[in-house]
């Protein structure tokens, strides 16, 4: 069993990225097998519960009101519509339902409706996840009391590159919300995006920030930028896909007991590239034809991929107790 550490240095992380590909994958796979059943992959389905017109200016995001992406705005959905979508996702095989809202932070009137959504989805026997932007006051505790299992809040990139991508909030604002989420006893889903024109050093810095949080996020989504016309990052030179695989592998090594999600960007990947990501230690995906506003592989394509690779859609069994904060 590899130790759970919170004191990774940039130098160490850089050295992992620089390993020959086969050595890096061997190390990631060894770590993966020490902590998890390597053939189980967790599946979550996403739903955008409030779409577009977001006041934040995240350069990657089609939902920002600052950009000209062609996204149909939609007000906060009704609770019944969300619970019906969750039931359909459960019946199609998803174990977790993630609800995303294009907000900087939730207003009280909307927040109480989200609490009802969480209660309704939880009552279906599914795990619940929401991503609502920054939380204040007792919001995290109220989400926990309503039955929320996970809160998604990504660091997205390195502290140094952050202001090249987002100017309407600071990296530290994200850390503050993550602290509130942890304090409320919620599981943390926190990762980032690669392929935004960042340097390898920025990928090192993102993973350093994640791995040195007081407690590792239980879920670590690694998104490959989905380039959407009208966003400032559309037209960015695409990142070498093998560098994406390396990022998954380094995340696995740094956070051995966390579930690493091969997140956005799968629609543009073939089966072989996804297989490499699973080999690198990714053990979770978004399942269903749509992410929030962009496409995801069709469910039947994912079922065929799992069949081809001998993967079971299941919560990857931890081979050790999830460690407490060091
Ligand atoms: N507004 C909330 C927030 O930003 O935390 C929740 C929704 S936001 C869409 C959730 C995450 O989606 C972002 O943190 C980002 O990591 C990811 N995301 C958004 N647009 C993306 C894109 N074009 N490609 C990859 N990931 C993206
Ligand atoms: C995460 O890390 N990726 C998901 C989820 N958490 C909320 C979102 C991906 C969004 C991709 C762009 C879109 O569909 O709008
Ligand atoms: Fe808004 Fe979230 Fe998109 Fe940023 S990532 S513009 S906060 S919806």
Rounded Cα–Cα distance for residues 221 and 308 (Å):
23
Taking the CA of residue 295 as reference, the ligand 2 atom at the shortest distance is 14
Q: Based on C-alpha coordinates, what's the Rg of the chain?
A: 18
* pLDDT over 60 (residue 66): yes
The per-residue pLDDT for range 24-46, each reduced to its tens digit, is 999 999 999 999 999 999 999 99
The per-residue pLDDT for range 70-121, each reduced to its tens digit, is 999 999 999 999 999 999 999 988 889 999 999 999 999 999 999 999 999 9
Catalytic residue status for 189: yes
Q: Is the CB of 154 under 6 A from ligand 2?
A: yes
Among 134, 319, 129, 326, residue whose Cα is nearest residue 215: 326
Rounded Cα–Cα distance for residues 157 and 225 (Å):
11
Q: Is the CB of 221 under 6 A from ligand 1?
A: no
pLDDT of the residue at 137? 85
**pTM (two decimals):** 0.94
Q: Is the CB of 60 under 6 A from ligand 1?
A: yes
* pLDDT over 60 (residue 206): yes
pLDDT of the residue at 319? 63
Q: Is the CB of 181 under 6 A from ligand 1?
A: no
**Cα 133 to averaged position of ligand 3 atoms, centre (Å):** 8
Rounded Cα–Cα distance for residues 118 and 168 (Å):
28
The per-residue pLDDT for range 258-311, each reduced to its tens digit, is 999 999 999 999 999 999 999 999 999 999 989 999 999 999 999 999 999 999
Catalytic residue chosen out of the listed positions 27, 246, 261, 266: 261
**Cα 229 to averaged position of ligand 1 atoms, centre (Å):** 16
pLDDT of the residue at 2? 77
pLDDT of the residue at 325? 40
Residue 23, exposed/middle/buried by CB under 10 A (0-12, 13-18, 19+)?
exposed
pLDDT of the residue at 207? 98
Contact 256, 38 (CB under 8 A): no
Rounded Cα–Cα distance for residues 42 and 187 (Å):
15
Contact 140, 183 (CB under 8 A): yes
SS3 of 52, please? Answer: coil
């Amino acid at each position: 069993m590899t130790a759970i550490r919170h004191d990774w240095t940039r130098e160490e992380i850089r050295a992992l990225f620089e390993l020959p590909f086969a050595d890096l994958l061997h190390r990631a796979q060894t770590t993966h097998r020490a902590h998890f059943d390597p053939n189980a992959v967790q599946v979550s389905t996403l739903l955008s519960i409030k779409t577009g017109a977001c006041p934040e200016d995240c350069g990657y995001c089609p939902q920002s009101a600052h950009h000209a992406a062609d996204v149909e705005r939609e007000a906060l959905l009704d609770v019944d519509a969300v619970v019906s979508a969750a039931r359909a996702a459960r019946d199609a095989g998803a174990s977790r339902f993630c609800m995303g809202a294009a907000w900087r932070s939730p207003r009280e009137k909307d927040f109480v409706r989200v609490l009802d959504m969480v209660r309704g989805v939880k009552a279906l026997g599914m795990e619940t996840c929401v991503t609502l932007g920054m939380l204040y006051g007792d919001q995290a505790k109220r989400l926990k009391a309503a039955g929320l299992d996970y809160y998604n809040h990504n660091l997205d990139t390195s502290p140094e590159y952050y202001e090249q991508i987002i100017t309407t909030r600071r990296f530290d604002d994200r850390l503050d919300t993550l602290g509130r989420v942890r304090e409320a006893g919620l599981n943390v889903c926190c990762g980032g995006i690669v392929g935004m024109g960042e340097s390898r050093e920025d990928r090192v810095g993102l993973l350093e920030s994640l791995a040195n949080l007081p407690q590792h996020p239980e879920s670590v989504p690694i998104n490959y930028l989905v380039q959407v016309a009208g966003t400032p990052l559309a037209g960015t030179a695409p990142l070498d896909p093998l560098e994406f695989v390396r990022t998954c592998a380094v995340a696995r090594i740094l956070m051995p007991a966390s579930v690493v999600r091969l997140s956005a960007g799968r629609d543009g990947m073939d089966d072989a590239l996804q297989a490499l990501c699973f080999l690198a230690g990714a053990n979770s995906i978004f399942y269903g034809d749509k992410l929030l506003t962009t496409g995801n592989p069709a469910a039947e394509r994912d079922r065929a991929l799992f069949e081809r690779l001998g993967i079971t859609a299941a919560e990857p069994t931890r081979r050790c107790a999830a460690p407490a904060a060091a």
